[in-house]
Amino acid sequence: MSDSSPDKPTSPNFDAALDFRSGWSYSEAPESSDYIELDENYGHYIDGRFVQPSKGRYLESINPATEKSLAKIADGTGEDVDAAVKAAGKAFKSKWSGLPGRERGKYIYRIARMIQEYARELAVLESMDGGKPIRESRDVDIPLTAAHFFYYAGWADKLEYAFPGRKAEPLGVCGQIIPWNFPMLMLAWKIAPALATGNTVVLKPAETTSLTALRFAEICSDAGLPDGVINIVTGAGQTGSNLVNHPDIDKIAFTGSTEVGKIIQKSLAGSGKRYTLELGGKGANIIFEDAAIEQAVEGVINAIFFNQGHVCCAGSRLLVQESIADLFISRLKDRMETLIVGDPLDKNTDIGAINSKAQYDRILNYLEIGVEEGAAIYQTQAELPKSGYFCRPTLFTDVGQSNRIVNEEIFGPVLTIQTFRTPDEAVEKANNTPYGLSGGVWTDKGSKIFQTGRALRAGVIWSNTFNKFDPTSPFGGYKESGVGREGGLHGLYPYVHLTS
Ligand code: NAP
Ligand code: MG
């Protein structure tokens, strides 16, 4: 009788690599997008109307999954920014700042409900314009956007409880500049607290993802928001710079790269304008040997591959205790192999398109840098669509603290893995970065969570989870990750003068 006889029990071979791609695959499950009606050209939204750009110049907004243009958006000039700031100033003085909080709250509640009403359309548009998987825009971005408006609507008539014994006065016209990774959510983080506290707004969305902000402008109109309270000026970096340097702006709220944040901070120095800066990150995700391994693997996947890794607070540096490193990395690779990279509008897709050609090239450049630095690269076998900007989930091992891929923000689906032996070493490595936005701690021991969490120099620390957001919870950075907090009660402070 041969060894392969069915009568003879054989023990499973745990060392053999699992083959996830040979058995079966999901059928396509596309979300319908035929009802999305886009104009050919979009103007700026100023003083309650869409107006054409003063110089008549437009920029293309591309669908990064198809590389095809979706629509043209106005390229804002200094004149356009000036018109928007004037409209916001007029609305502030003539109407908005004088409304009782409960009246402002009604408008914000109405906007929140309308976002819920149009949630599916907004999610589809967000995925088409930005490349993120529909599962994420549908289940995370848009519901959280509505939640932020609901939350701050609730504060509008309760500012006396937010700041007991003091009077909270609005600042005036707020210039707000947002990035492309969470276009609607970042808009909500900025606009909702500004409106609740009685300010008016000029917002510049990112050049590659302005379409949902323009749809939001229509929602504000339909909600009956008074003209000029919200103004949206589209364009590139220069448009943002014009907004920052406009003399009649009272506050700048910026979310974006540390590089641009530093430029903005320099130009605001001495101007008396208030500002908050939410900048980059290089979050450490620490796995102790007593962590629940399967849950931690799932958490690492969420920490770095959520939204293609275009997440400022991504857990992009994995620190895993040496005693479990081999097992953990092997399980992580198995789980990575199951990730589906593809059409953002397919409900099975885990990893959508990289947001733009520029970001795609930047990520590829970092992959080359990692290999040149001597790190070992691992990429999954995932099939990639024939067109569009797509990147396989990637991890680097054999990396050192001084490597560029460990120090610099890649902002893509790329994880570096280092090991540690003691909790002190983990904290030392985690804090050895110019950034300080987020961190994660995975352990069975509550005491270790508190000890490590306290020692980490980062604004947000998750324990036994990652990338969880809630409007009631403040968010922001230490060191080069920024200044100020958004979200929660803390998110009201940057929008008010407190007097006694
Ligand atoms: P970015 O290049 O700094 O751009 C952010 C925004 O600023 C965009 O609207 C951009 O316009 C505009 N801008 C560019 N140059 C400007 C200037 N000189 N003056 C004023 N505005 C200017 O960042 P990004 O590449 O879009 O976004 C990715 C970065 O944002 C990452 O570093 C990420 O970590 C960070 N981020 C941080 C948080 C947080 O809360 N801490 C959240 C999300 C993202 P254009 O798009 O037209 O260039
Ligand atoms: Mg786009």
Give the 3-state secondary structure of 328-345: HHHHHHHHHHCCCECCCC
Alpha carbon 315 to chain centroid, angstroms: 13
User: CA dihedral in degrees (73, 79, 80, 86; nearest 10)?
Assistant: 170
How large is the angle between the packed helices 211-222 and 183-196, nearest 10 degrees?
40
Ligand 1 pocket test: pick from 59, 141, 181 the residue with the most ligand atoms within 8 Å of its Cβ.
181
pLDDT band for position 123 (50/70/90)?
Answer: very high
Cβ–ligand 1 distance for 206 under 6 Å, the answer yes
Share the mean pLDDT of the chain: 95
Q: How confident is the model at residue 154, as a pLDDT?
A: 98
Q: How confident is the model at residue 3, as a pLDDT?
A: 45
Q: Give a yes or no: residue 447 inside a domain.
A: yes
Strand-pair partners of 60? 72
Strand-pair partners of 46? 49
Q: Give a yes or no: residue 235 inside a domain.
A: yes
Looking at residue 341, the DSSP 8-state letter turns out to be B
Residues 271 and 379 in one domain: no
> How far apart (Å, rounded) are the C-alpha atoms in residues 404 and 382?
26
CB atoms under 10 Å from CB of 497, counted, come to 14
State which amino acid sits at residue 225: L
Cβ–ligand 1 distance for 412 under 6 Å, the answer no
Cβ–ligand 1 distance for 485 under 6 Å, the answer no
Q: How confident is the model at residue 20, as a pLDDT?
A: 62
Residues 230 and 293 in one domain: no
Q: Which residue's CA is minimally distant from atom 13 of ligand 1?
A: 237
Q: Which helix (H) or strand (E) holds 303?
A: helix 293-305
How large is the angle between the packed helices 142-155 and 101-117, nearest 10 degrees?
170
221: helix, strand or coil: helix
Average pLDDT over residues 18-37: 82
Q: Which residue's CA is minimally distant from atom 42 of ligand 1?
A: 312
CB atoms under 10 Å from CB of 450, counted, come to 12
Average pLDDT over residues 486-492: 98
Please say if the pLDDT value at position 16 is more than 90.
no
CB atoms under 10 Å from CB of 9, counted, come to 5
> How far apart (Å, rounded) are the C-alpha atoms in residues 284 and 356?
26
Q: Which residue's CA is minimally distant from atom 32 of ligand 1?
A: 257
Phi, psi of 163, deg, nearest 5: -130, 75
Q: How many A from CA of 180 to the centre of ligand 1? A: 7
Average pLDDT over residues 460-483: 97
Q: Give a yes or no: residue 30 inside a domain.
A: no
Place of tokens 């080359």: 368
Q: How confident is the model at residue 2, as a pLDDT?
A: 43
Q: How confident is the model at residue 5, as a pLDDT?
A: 47
Residues 318 and 361 in one domain: yes
Q: What is the percent of the chain with per-residue pLDDT over 70, rounded to a whole number?
A: 95
Cβ–ligand 1 distance for 237 under 6 Å, the answer yes
> How far apart (Å, rounded) are the C-alpha atoms in residues 271 and 152?
28
Q: Give a yes or no: residue 29 inside a domain.
A: no
Cβ–ligand 1 distance for 437 under 6 Å, the answer yes
Residues 218 and 337 in one domain: no
Question: Which segments of 245-292 does DSSP mark as H helices, in order?
Answer: 258-268
Burial (CB count within 10 angstroms: exposed 0-12, middle 13-18, buried 19+), residue 420? buried
Domain count, the chain: 2
- Nearest ligand, CA 408: 1
Place of tokens 């995975």: 442
How far the first Cα of the chain sits from its last, in Å, is 93
Looking at residue 438, the DSSP 8-state letter turns out to be E
Cβ–ligand 1 distance for 312 under 6 Å, the answer yes
Which residue, 345, 329, 266, is CA-closest to 28? 345
Residues 95 and 145 in one domain: yes
Q: How confident is the model at residue 4, as a pLDDT?
A: 45
Residues 113 and 51 in one domain: yes
Average pLDDT over residues 441-449: 97
Please say if the pLDDT value at position 311 is more than 90.
yes
Residues 301 and 178 in one domain: no
Q: How confident is the model at residue 7, as a pLDDT?
A: 52
- Domain extent, residue 166, equals 41-279+481-499
Residues 252 and 292 in one domain: no
pLDDT band for position 321 (50/70/90)?
Answer: very high
> How far apart (Å, rounded) are the C-alpha atoms in residues 303 and 306?
6
Average pLDDT over residues 281-306: 98
Contacts of range 159-167, beta carbons closer than 8 Å, 24 or more positions apart: 159/101, 159/196, 159/197, 159/492, 159/496, 162/489, 162/492, 163/492, 163/496, 163/498, 165/500, 166/498, 166/499, 166/500, 167/498, 167/499, 167/500
Q: Which atom of ligand 1 is nearest to the CA of 278?
A: 41
**pLDDT tens readout for residues 125-151:** 999 999 999 999 999 999 999 999 999
- Nearest ligand, CA 175: 1
Q: Give a yes or no: residue 34 inside a domain.
A: no
Q: Give a yes or no: residue 1 inside a domain.
A: no
Q: How confident is the model at residue 10, as a pLDDT?
A: 56
State which amino acid sits at residue 121: E
Cβ–ligand 1 distance for 207 under 6 Å, the answer yes
> How far apart (Å, rounded) are the C-alpha atoms in residues 482 and 277?
5
Place of tokens 């054409």: 52
Q: Which residues are catalytic?
A: 278, 312
Q: Give a yes or no: residue 28 inside a domain.
A: no
Please say if the pLDDT value at position 1 is more than 50.
no
pTM: 0.95
Place of tokens 């606009």: 191
Residues 245 and 152 in one domain: yes
Q: How many A from CA of 20 to the centre of ligand 1? A: 38
Question: Which segments of 40-141 does DSSP mark as H helices, in order?
Answer: 78-94, 101-117, 119-130, 134-136
CATH number of the domain within which 163 lies: 3.40.605.10
Residues 328 and 447 in one domain: yes
Residues 223 and 360 in one domain: no
**pLDDT tens readout for residues 388-432:** 999 999 999 999 999 999 999 999 999 999 999 999 999 999 999
Q: How many A from CA of 131 to the centre of ligand 2? A: 8
Edge-to-edge strands, sheet with 284-287: 376-379, 394-397, 414-420, 317-321, 284-287, 438-442, 460-463
Q: Give a yes or no: residue 19 inside a domain.
A: no
> How far apart (Å, rounded) are the C-alpha atoms in residues 184 and 111?
13
Please say if the pLDDT value at position 271 is more than 70.
yes
Assess contact for 322 and 418: CB atoms under 8 A.
no
CATH number of the domain within which 290 lies: 3.40.309.10
Residues 205 and 107 in one domain: yes
> How far apart (Å, rounded) are the C-alpha atoms in residues 400 and 417?
9
pLDDT band for position 15 (50/70/90)?
Answer: low
Q: How confident is the model at residue 11, as a pLDDT?
A: 55
Average pLDDT over residues 74-91: 98
